[in-house]
């Protein structure tokens, strides 16, 4: 008798569990390609869908809903995503009720074309339409395809608390601006992410507070162009000139925002990305110098070292102005690391212009960089009005030239740390060895050292004994 009761209760429990599972535990598999902002957007999407009873899973095969956050920046990025869709297709054969949605820049760029070209796709959602996901999913569950690619003048997701995905529990992203108004001629981002808007500093501080409460130690402030941050009560950045006098007088710019967060959270390390040279002010550099908890590292994409090329790219500074900016940074923060994005083979690039890029690199000796061969993107000013006339082999050879040179400079920079002690925030075990910790110093260089009794999230001092071009190797002191 007694045993039967136990079995009965067990059965009931299981039934309840299954019911709960079907109601509250739908499984979301979400993956991101491209920039850090996409990663952060996926965290926002996970938060919006958790309200709808979706929990994230790492297992594609068990997903009820698969979302892929896409990147359009180069053709190759789009090809990678198309390949991923083939993989989902194979899984859908085993799990036919699984729904597939495409988010992000490719969704925005291709719109309904996606539904026509990729039969596997049920749902297409642009970067400003994630709040509409619950409605769109309802349509999908009723058997219709759903799409929302409306770009917004206001949307910043300021009140959504992101669900941290694949997190090391130590460092997190917080978006502070969305969109970009710069219209670099080669770039698809203004078309896929819309006009620039800044997020209310109050909601940024609230998000950081939540991160601090849950033991995060480092926050990276994100935007396509963070230095252009400007809060004056909401709305598009370009409308600031028509704002009221009060809104203008109480506006918060990026230097003020940095100062604010560094003071409010003295035990948190701050980074930011990305800076556009044309918008980086001396005030920002001075605020960085003032606070020990703002990392001494600036990602400052330049694309080319040639003024004529910068003009064709519609970058709004010259080679000389860029060099002056670098000199100011180094004067005010001598130990600041500087990294770059470079592009070879943009329309009309001559050998002379390429040599100017190499010579700029010799002047700056960047700590590291992301380097690309130009890839024409449909709809951009360059695709419409300019000729993609540098042959592929030349693009590749020039790319190789700058990669080689960067390699040399990265090693030169890491060697400067030999025999010095650096402060490292421990992020986790080293990829190569479980007996070593991995973390980063203020300059954003990876540091590896033997474990003793430290914990993830500790700040420790490490004496640097050895290095490669990308890693510092040392021991804790
Ligand atoms: N401000 C942005 C830049 C986004 S794009 C940011 O937050 O990083 C990142 C880099 O991709 C650019 O700096 C540029 O070097 C590269 N890129 C952009 N469009 C490209 C294209 N059409 N072909 C090749 N590289 C491109
Ligand atoms: Fe693209 Fe230029 Fe903006 S690279 S993201 S248009 S600053």
Q: How far apart are CA 470 and CA 412, in angstroms?
A: 10
Confidence of residue 24 (pLDDT cuts 50, 70, 90): low
**DSSP secondary structure code for residue 347 in this structure:** T
Are residues 249 and 382 located together in one domain of the fold? no
- Mean of pLDDT over the chain: 94
Are residues 162 and 286 located together in one domain of the fold? yes
pLDDT tens by residue, 66-99: 999 999 999 999 999 999 999 999 999 999 999 9
The pLDDT value given to residue 242: 87
| pLDDT of 431 strictly over 70 | yes
How far, rounded to the nearest angstrom, does the alpha carbon of residue 293 sit from its chain's CA centroid?
Answer: 21
Is 287 a pocket residue for ligand 2 (Cβ < 6 Å)?
no
Structure tokens given for 349: 């690039």
Query: How many structural domains compose the chain?
Result: 4
Q: How far apart are CA 202 and CA 196, in angstroms?
A: 19
Is 372 a pocket residue for ligand 1 (Cβ < 6 Å)?
yes
pLDDT tens by residue, 304-332: 999 999 999 999 999 999 999 999 999 99
CATH of the domain at 374: 3.30.750.200
Q: How far apart are CA 222 and CA 113, in angstroms?
A: 30
Structure tokens given for 289: 């110098």
Is 190 a pocket residue for ligand 1 (Cβ < 6 Å)?
no
Are residues 221 and 357 located together in one domain of the fold? no
The pLDDT value given to residue 23: 54
Report which ligand 2 atom has the smallest distance to the Cα of 315: 2
Q: Cα torsion for 131, 132, 138, 140, to the nearest 10°?
A: -110
**DSSP secondary structure code for residue 52 in this structure:** T
Is 344 a pocket residue for ligand 1 (Cβ < 6 Å)?
no
Confidence of residue 247 (pLDDT cuts 50, 70, 90): confident
Say how many Å lie between the CA of residue 195 and the centre of ligand 2: 11
Structure tokens given for 189: 């981002």
| pLDDT of 20 strictly over 60 | no
The pLDDT value given to residue 79: 97
Are residues 169 and 186 located together in one domain of the fold? yes
Q: What is the pTM of this model?
A: 0.93
Q: How far apart are CA 244 and CA 224, in angstroms?
A: 26
Q: Which ligand lies nearest to the CA atom of residue 377 in the structure?
A: 1
Say how many Å lie between the CA of residue 106 and the centre of ligand 1: 15
The pLDDT value given to residue 7: 47
In a 3-state reduction of DSSP, which class is residue 232? Answer: coil
CATH of the domain at 442: 2.40.50.140
Percent of the chain at pLDDT exceeding 70 = 95
Domain that holds residue 230: 155-295
**DSSP secondary structure code for residue 164 in this structure:** P
Is 173 a pocket residue for ligand 1 (Cβ < 6 Å)?
no
Say how many Å lie between the CA of residue 298 and the centre of ligand 2: 17
Are residues 465 and 368 located together in one domain of the fold? no
Q: Whose CA is nearest to atom 7 of ligand 2?
A: 182
Out of 9-13, 41-45, 262-266, 310-314, pick the least confident.
9-13
Q: How far apart are CA 168 and CA 164, in angstroms?
A: 9
| pLDDT of 8 strictly over 70 | no
CB 474 within 8 A of CB 446: no
Q: How far apart are CA 155 and CA 148, in angstroms?
A: 14
CB 200 within 8 A of CB 247: no
């Amino acid at each position: 008798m007694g045993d039967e009761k136990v079995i009965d209760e067990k059965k009931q429990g299981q039934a309840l569990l299954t019911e709960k599972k079907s109601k509250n535990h739908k499984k979301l598999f979400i993956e991101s390609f491209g920039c850090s902002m996409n990663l952060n957007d996926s965290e926002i999407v996970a938060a919006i869908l958790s309200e709808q009873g979706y929990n994230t899973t790492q297992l594609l095969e068990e997903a009820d809903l698969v979302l892929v956050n896409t990147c359009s920046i180069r053709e190759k990025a789009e090809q990678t995503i198309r390949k991923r869709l083939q993989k989902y297709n194979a899984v859908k054969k085993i799990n036919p009720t699984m729904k597939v949605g495409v988010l992000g820049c490719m969704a925005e760029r291709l719109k309904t074309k996606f539904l026509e070209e990729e039969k596997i796709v049920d749902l297409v959602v642009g970067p400003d339409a994630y709040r509409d996901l619950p409605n769109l999913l309802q349509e999908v569950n009723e058997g219709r395809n759903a799409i929302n690619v409306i770009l917004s003048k206001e949307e910043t997701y300021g009140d959504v608390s992101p669900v941290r995905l694949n997190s090391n529990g130590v460092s997190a992203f917080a978006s502070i601006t969305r969109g970009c108004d710069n219209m670099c001629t080669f770039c698809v981002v203004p078309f896929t992410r819309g006009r620039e808007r800044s997020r209310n500093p109050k909601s940024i501080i609230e998000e950081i507070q939540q991160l601090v409460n849950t033991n995060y130690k480092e926050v990276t402030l994100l935007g396509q162009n963070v230095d252009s941050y400007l809060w004056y009560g909401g709305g598009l950045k370009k409308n600031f000139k028509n704002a009221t006098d009060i809104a203008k007088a109480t506006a918060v710019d990026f230097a003020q925002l940095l100062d604010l967060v560094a003071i409010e959270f003295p035990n948190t390390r701050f980074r930011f990305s990305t800076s556009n040279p044309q918008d980086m002010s001396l005030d920002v550099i001075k605020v960085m110098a003032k606070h020990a908890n703002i990392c001494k590292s600036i990602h400052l994409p330049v694309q080319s070292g040639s003024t004529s090329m910068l003009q064709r790219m519609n970058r709004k500074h010259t080679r000389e102005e860029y060099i002056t900016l670098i000199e100011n940074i180094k004067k005010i923060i001598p130990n600041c690391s500087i990294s770059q994005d470079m592009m070879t083979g943009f329309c009309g690039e001559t050998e002379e212009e390429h040599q100017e890029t190499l010579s700029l690199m010799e002047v700056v000796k960047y700590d590291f960089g992301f380097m690309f061969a130009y890839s024409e993107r449909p709809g951009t000013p360059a695709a419409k009005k300019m000729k993609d006339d540098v042959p592929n082999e030349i693009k590749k050879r020039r790319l190789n030239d700058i990669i080689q040179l960067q390699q040399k400079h990265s090693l030169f920079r890491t060697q400067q740390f030999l025999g010095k002690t650096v402060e490292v925030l421990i992020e986790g075990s080293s990829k190569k060895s479980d007996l070593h910790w991995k973390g980063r110093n203020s300059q954003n260089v990876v540091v590896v050292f033997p474990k003793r009794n430290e914990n993830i999230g500790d700040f420790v001092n490490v004496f640097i004994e050895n290095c490669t071009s990308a890693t510092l190797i040392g021991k804790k002191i």
